[in-house]
C-alpha cells in the first residue's frame, strides 16, 4: 500500500491528504436541512449530512489528490449511524481510487490491538467465512503501550499489505508535556521515532517502509530531526493551514527525493468556503471552494519544495 500511495503522490504531484473531519458547523445549511427533512433531526440525519458533505468534497477533489484521512471521532460521536457514515465514506473513497488513512489513534495491549487491527485494516473470521469489517488502507496508532501494543498492527500490515502512521510528535500545543521530556538527554518523541524506524525496518515497500509516523507541521525543527531518525518512514504531517503550519515550514519533513511526507489539511480544505479567500464560491458551491483550496495547497508545498533546491 505504501507503493500505491507513492505512485499516486507522484502521479498527482500532490504530497497531500484531505482530512475528512466533518464537524457539523462546517456542513452547509442546505445539506443539513435536506438530511434532516429526510431523516429528522436524529443521529441518522446527522450521519446523512456528513455523508453528503463528504461525497461532494470527494467528487470535487479526488482527481487532484492521492489520499483522504477521515477522522473517526467526528463520525463515532454520532454513534452507530455515525459509524455507518464512516464506513460509507471509506468505501466511496476506495471507489474513487483514493488511499484511505483512517485516523483512529487506537492502541492497546496485544490481543486487543490485534482486534482493532483486524477490524480496521485486516479481516475477521466468522465461522467458516472471512470479512473485511471496515477496510482502511492505513491507520494511525498510539504508541504509549510499547511494542506489544503496536506489533499486532504491524503483523496485520505485513499480511494485508496495509500500513500505519504511529504518533510520534503530535501537532497540539501541549504535546510537549510528555513527548518532549528528556530521557538520557533525548526527548521521548525521538525514542518513539527510533522505535518507529526499528518496527518499520523489515516492513519495506520498494522505496519506503509501510510503518510511518505522525509528526505535527507545527513543530518543523523537530520534523527535521525526526526525518533523519526515520529516513525510510513516511511522515504524515497534520497541522497545516488552520493549525498554523505553512508550506515553507514543511520542506524538512521531506527527503531529498521529494518524497517521505504527506501533509494533511482538514478544516483548511473542507471548510474553505468559510475563508475570505474562497468566499466568492458561496456556501452552495462549498466543494468547488475545497477544490480551489487543494490547488492552492499543492502549489504552496510544491513551490516550497522547489525553492529548497
The residues annotated with a catalytic role in the active site are 105
Q: Which is nearer to a copy of itself, 28 or 119 (CB)?
A: 119
Q: Which is nearer to a copy of itself, 179 or 233 (CB)?
A: 179
Residue 277 burial (CB count, 10 A)? 12
Q: Compute the distance between CA of residue 187 and CA of residue 143 in angstroms, rounded to an integer.
A: 15
Q: What contacts 24+ positions apart, CB below 8 Å, involve 77-83? A: 78/43, 78/46, 78/47, 78/50, 79/43, 80/43, 81/42, 81/43, 81/44, 81/46, 81/47, 82/43, 82/46, 82/47, 82/50
Q: Which is nearer to a copy of itself, 191 or 248 (CB)?
A: 191
Q: Compute the distance between CA of residue 272 and CA of residue 142 in angstroms, rounded to an integer.
A: 29
First to last CA, the chain: 29
Q: Compute the distance between CA of residue 171 and CA of residue 37 in angstroms, rounded to an integer.
A: 38
71 secondary structure, DSSP code: B
Q: Which is nearer to a copy of itself, 68 or 298 (CB)?
A: 68
- Considering the complex, what minimum distance in angstroms separates the CB of residue 7 from a copy of itself? 28
Q: Which is nearer to a copy of itself, 171 or 209 (CB)?
A: 171
Task: List Cβ neighbours of 235 (8 Å cut-off, separation of 6 or more).
Answer: 165, 212, 213, 214, 215, 223, 226, 227, 253, 260, 261, 262
Q: Which three cell numbers stand for residue 208?
A: 519506503
- Considering the complex, what minimum distance in angstroms separates the CB of residue 23 from a copy of itself? 7
Q: Which is nearer to a copy of itself, 195 or 232 (CB)?
A: 195
Contact of 57 with 20, CB cutoff 8 Å: yes
- Considering the complex, what minimum distance in angstroms separates the CB of residue 142 from a copy of itself? 5
- Considering the complex, what minimum distance in angstroms separates the CB of residue 223 from a copy of itself? 17
Beta strand 186-187 with 182-183 is antiparallel
- Considering the complex, what minimum distance in angstroms separates the CB of residue 217 from a copy of itself? 13
- Considering the complex, what minimum distance in angstroms separates the CB of residue 50 from a copy of itself? 11
Q: Which three cell numbers stand for residue 218?
A: 507545527
CA angle 161, 8, 292 (to 5 degrees): 135
How buried is residue 25: exposed, middle or buried, by Cβ count under 10 Å (0-12/13-18/19+)?
exposed
Amino acid at each position: 500500500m505504501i507503493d500505491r500511495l507513492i505512485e499516486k503522490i507522484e502521479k498527482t504531484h500532490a504530497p497531500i491528504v484531505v482530512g475528512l473531519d466533518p464537524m457539523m458547523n462546517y456542513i452547509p445549511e442546505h445539506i443539513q436541512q435536506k438530511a434532516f427533512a429526510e431523516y429528522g433531526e436524529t443521529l441518522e440525519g446527522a450521519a446523512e449530512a456528513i455523508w453528503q458533505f463528504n461525497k461532494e468534497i470527494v467528487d470535487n477533489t479526488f482527481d487532484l489528490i492521492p489520499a483522504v484521512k477521515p477522522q473517526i471521532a467526528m463520525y463515532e460521536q454520532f454513534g452507530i449511524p455515525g459509524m455507518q457514515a464512516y464506513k460509507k465514506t471509506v468505501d466511496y473513497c476506495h471507489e474513487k481510487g483514493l488511499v484511505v488513512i483512517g485516523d483512529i489513534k487506537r492502541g492497546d495491549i496485544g490481543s486487543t490491538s490485534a482486534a482493532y487491527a483486524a477490524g480496521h485494516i485486516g479481516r475477521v473470521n466468522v465461522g467458516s467465512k472471512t470479512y473485511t469489517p471496515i477496510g482502511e488502507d492505513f491507520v494511525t496508532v498510539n504508541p504509549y503501550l510499547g511494542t506489544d501494543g503496536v506489533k499486532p498492527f504491524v503483523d496485520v500490515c505485513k499480511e494485508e499489505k496495509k500500513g500505519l502512521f504511529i504518533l510520534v510528535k503530535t501537532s497540539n500545543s501541549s504535546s510537549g508535556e510528555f513527548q518532549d521530556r528528556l530521557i538520557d538527554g533525548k526527548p521521548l518523541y525521538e525514542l518513539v521515532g527510533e522505535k518507529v524506524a526499528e518496527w518499520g525496518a523489515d516492513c519495506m515497500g520498494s522505496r519506503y517502509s509501510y510503518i510511518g509516523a505522525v509528526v505535527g507541521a507545527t513543530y518543523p525543527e523537530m520534523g527535521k530531526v525526526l526525518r533523519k531518525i526515520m529516513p525510510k518512514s513516511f511522515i504524515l504531517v497534520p497541522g497545516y493551514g488552520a493549525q498554523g503550519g505553512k508550506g515553507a515550514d514543511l520542506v524538512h519533513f521531506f527527503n531529498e527525493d521529494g518524497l517521505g511526507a504527506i501533509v494533511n489539511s482538514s478544516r483548511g480544505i473542507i471548510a474553505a468556503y468559510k475563508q475570505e479567500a474562497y468566499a466568492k464560491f458561496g456556501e452552495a458551491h462549498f466543494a468547488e471552494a475545497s477544490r480551489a483550496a487543494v490547488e492552492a495547497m499543492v502549489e504552496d508545498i510544491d513551490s516550497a519544495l522547489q525553492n529548497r533546491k
